[in-house]
Amino acid sequence: MKSALAASLVAEGTSLSGDFSFVKEFLVAGTVNGSVSCGGDKNGVVKILDGGILVGEINSPSIEIFGKVEASITSTQNVIIGPNAHFTGIVQYRKLSVCAGAVINGALIPMVDLDKNNTQAGQIDESD
């Protein structure tokens, strides 16, 4: 029998601190202080729900922000910043959607630019 993967939820009124790893879905309606990372599922998603707060770091294929986030985040697929979201920090992303009303204070860095910079930095001059 195949087991279903359930979402991990930090419920409203709950406050957690530490480093968290998840497989499929990590939902924050409460408060998280620390790092949150996807344990390898290419469809993994972190969702900061309206009223949720995350301070720290997020590393996940997909990230959806509808609450308050103060973090450095890296997404290998897409980031959605919702209409009531407040984001402070650095976003590294492949695809980015920002809804009207979102408040962003920080840097938005497309991974295409990072890939180009890493390739240029990693080139070896063989002309000698």
CA distance 10 to 45: 14
pLDDT above 50: residue 123: no
Quote the pLDDT of residue 116: 54
Mean pLDDT value of segment 85-114: 93
Quote the pLDDT of residue 98: 96
CA distance 69 to 51: 10
CA distance 72 to 94: 15
pLDDT above 80: residue 122: no
Residue labelled with tokens 């279903």: 4
Domain-by-domain residue ranges, the chain? 8-122
Quote the pLDDT of residue 113: 53
Helix, strand, or coil here: 79? strand
User: Could you read off the pLDDT of 4-46 as tens digits, one per residue?
Assistant: 567 899 999 999 999 999 989 999 999 999 999 998 778 899 9
More confident residue, 77 or 123: 77
Quote the pLDDT of residue 45: 96
Quickly count: other Cβ atoms within 10 Å of residue 95's Cβ. 12
Quote the pLDDT of residue 41: 77
pLDDT above 80: residue 73: yes
